[in-house]
């Protein structure tokens, strides 16, 4: 794999700096690859290549059905290379091979196939407004898209941007997270194999400050699609205002997972564990605040702590492992600092609370950690930790549970657990979040939109709504008089 080069205009080349940097396997703390250290010069070349492919190349002139065929082929190639893609993803992120190979890479392939179907279904409307005129609208691609993705779901979240952008007829420059670029580079090889025209898809690796912000500032980029932290999202908005380019942002979360006393407690228990410990809690929609109705609090907590203690932490390449290391030493230190803050603020530590000893002390492993007796005023309940740390908050009534759940600056996701359909629908309507699961957690479908309220961002990905950010609506008035 061409890990030491960038992919621009359909060809591999060294970065303009002629330098590389090492990616680190978080399970072993050893170097996994040398990756090209891109900068604004590489971004400029990639944007120029994408602009040429959009304006003059075959992509803009290609029939929608042919675009659909190529995008579908990408989905097939992802599945044909599933084992390699999954291993590269786990190598970079520390996520388990089960999560990469059984869940996330197959879902990414599904996203490409879903949007392949949309390529031939993007259309305008005919509007019979008045006599003597023929009026209609067209939906056209926005142009060059800069896609900036995070390190927690590197390829899956890239697919959420690349597939609809290509289906709508745009060209793409992808900036993968500097910690996790390997699946993006492998995908560039698959684009070559699929026969994607030169310049339609480009990859520039390197640090966000140099590569990501160069994309945001570049005057010839028409749209930025970003997933990442709220802090960086705000910075992107400020920088993008200089050229008034389109921006869609999927940002952080502090999602409430609300268990009512009449819920199926065994199902809710499984959902609580999945909600916070899937992918080591490095999930923007993680159910990091667990609200338990007071009447069932003690019973639920007893089972929850027992199950959390039994989670197998270890080598992510071992198919029996259920939780790998967090992404980096820095992130491990951040998570451990939040755990210490929880102790200092008076939350009651009931499970975990430290670095896990795995493989002779190597790797950035953090124990599954649960705090009880938490209030929304505490730092661990207000701020996104992005690690396997759960804050448990008791409540006494439906109204209190909903109100406490909404007491956050974020609004990405939420869940409610109850056998009462009316209660479930009332809560789902009242919770200020882009996704509300009822008697489930962390379920996604390529056809169902995903995005946030409040400081969790704006815009939607997936589903038909995921096409809209990549198209412009043009009104045409033909005078017939």
Active site residues: 250, 284
What's the CA gap between 381 and 334, in Å, rounded? 15
Angle in degrees, CA 217, 222, 228, rounded to 5: 65
- Taking only the tens of pLDDT, the chain with its 481 residues reads 677 999 999 999 999 999 999 999 999 999 999 999 999 999 999 999 999 999 998 998 899 999 999 999 999 999 999 999 999 999 999 999 999 999 999 999 999 999 999 999 999 999 998 999 999 999 999 999 999 999 999 999 999 999 999 999 999 999 999 999 999 999 999 999 999 999 999 999 999 999 999 999 999 999 999 999 999 999 999 999 999 999 999 999 999 999 999 999 999 999 999 999 999 999 999 999 999 999 999 999 999 999 999 999 999 999 899 999 999 999 999 999 999 999 999 999 999 999 998 877 899 999 999 999 999 999 999 999 999 999 999 999 999 999 999 999 999 999 999 999 999 999 999 999 999 999 999 999 999 999 999 999 999 999 999 999 999 999 999 999 8
SS3 state at 188: helix
Residue 430 token pair: 């009242």
SS3 state at 447: coil
Q: Is 156:143 a contact under the CB 8 Å cutoff? A: no
What's the CA gap between 455 and 204, in Å, rounded? 28
| DSSP states along 282-332 | --TT---EEEEEGGGHHHHHHHHHHHHHTPPB--TTSTT-SB---S-HHHH
What's the CA gap between 237 and 254, in Å, rounded? 21
DSSP character for 196? P
Q: Label residue 384 left, alpha or beta by phi (over 0 means left) and psi (-120 to 50 means alpha).
A: beta
Smallest Cα–Cα separation from 454: which of 296, 304, 230, 275? 230
């Amino acid at each position: 794999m061409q890990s030491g080069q960038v992919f621009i205009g359909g060809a591999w080349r060294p970065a303009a700096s002629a330098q590389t940097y090492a990616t680190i396997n978080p399970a072993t703390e050893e170097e996994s690859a040398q990756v090209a250290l891109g900068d604004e010069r590489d971004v400029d070349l990639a944007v120029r290549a994408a602009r040429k492919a959009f304006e003059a190349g075959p992509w803009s002139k290609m029939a929608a059905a042919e675009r659909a065929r190529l995008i579908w082929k990408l989905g097939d190639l992802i599945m044909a290379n599933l084992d390699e893609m999954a291993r590269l993803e786990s190598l970079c992120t520390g996520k388990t091979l089960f999560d990469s190979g059984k869940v996330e890479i197959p879902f990414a392939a599904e996203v490409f196939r879903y949007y392949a179907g949309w390529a031939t279904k993007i259309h305008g409307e005919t509007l019979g407004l008045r006599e003597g005129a023929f009026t209609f609208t067209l939906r056209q691609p926005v142009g060059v898209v800069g896609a900036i993705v995070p390190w927690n779901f590197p390829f899956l979240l890239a697919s959420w941007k690349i597939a609809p952008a290509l289906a709508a007829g745009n060209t793409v420059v992808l900036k993968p997270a500097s910690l996790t670029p390997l699946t993006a580079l492998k995908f560039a090889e698959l684009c070559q194999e699929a026969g994607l025209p030169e310049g339609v898809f480009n990859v520039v690796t390197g640090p966000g400050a140099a590569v990501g912000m160069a994309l945001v500032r570049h005057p010839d980029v028409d749209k930025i699609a970003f997933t990442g932290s709220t802090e960086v999202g705000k910075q992107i908005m400020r920088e993008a205002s200089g050229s008034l380019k389109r921006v869609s942002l999927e940002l952080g979360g502090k999602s409430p997972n609300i268990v009512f006393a009449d819920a199926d407690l065994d199902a809710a228990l499984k959902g609580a564990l999945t909600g916070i410990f899937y992918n080591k809690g490095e999930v923007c929609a993680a159910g990091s605040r667990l609200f338990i109705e007071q009447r069932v609090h003690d019973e639920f907590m007893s089972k929850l702590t027992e199950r959390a203690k039994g989670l197998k932490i270890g080598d992510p390449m071992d198919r029996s492992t259920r939780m790998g290391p967090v992404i980096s030493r820095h992130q491990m230190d951040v998570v451990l600092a939040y755990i210490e803050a929880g102790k200092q603020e008076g939350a009651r530590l009931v499970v975990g609370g430290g670095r896990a000893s795995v493989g002779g002390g190597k790797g950035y492993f953090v124990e599954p950690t649960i705090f009880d007796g938490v209030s929304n005023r505490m730092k661990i309940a207000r701020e996104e930790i992005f690690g396997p740390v759960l804050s448990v908050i008791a409540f006494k009534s439906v109204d209190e549970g909903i109100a406490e759940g909404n007491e956050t600056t974020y609004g990405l996701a939420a869940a409610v657990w109850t056998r009462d359909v009316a209660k479930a629908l009332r809560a789902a309507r009242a919770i200020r979040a882009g996704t509300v699961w009822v008697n489930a957690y962390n379920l996604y479908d390529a056809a169902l939109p995903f995005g946030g309220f409040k400081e969790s961002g704006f815009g939607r990905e997936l589903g038909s709504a995921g096409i809209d950010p990549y198209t412009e609506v043009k009104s045409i008035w033909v005078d017939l008089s």
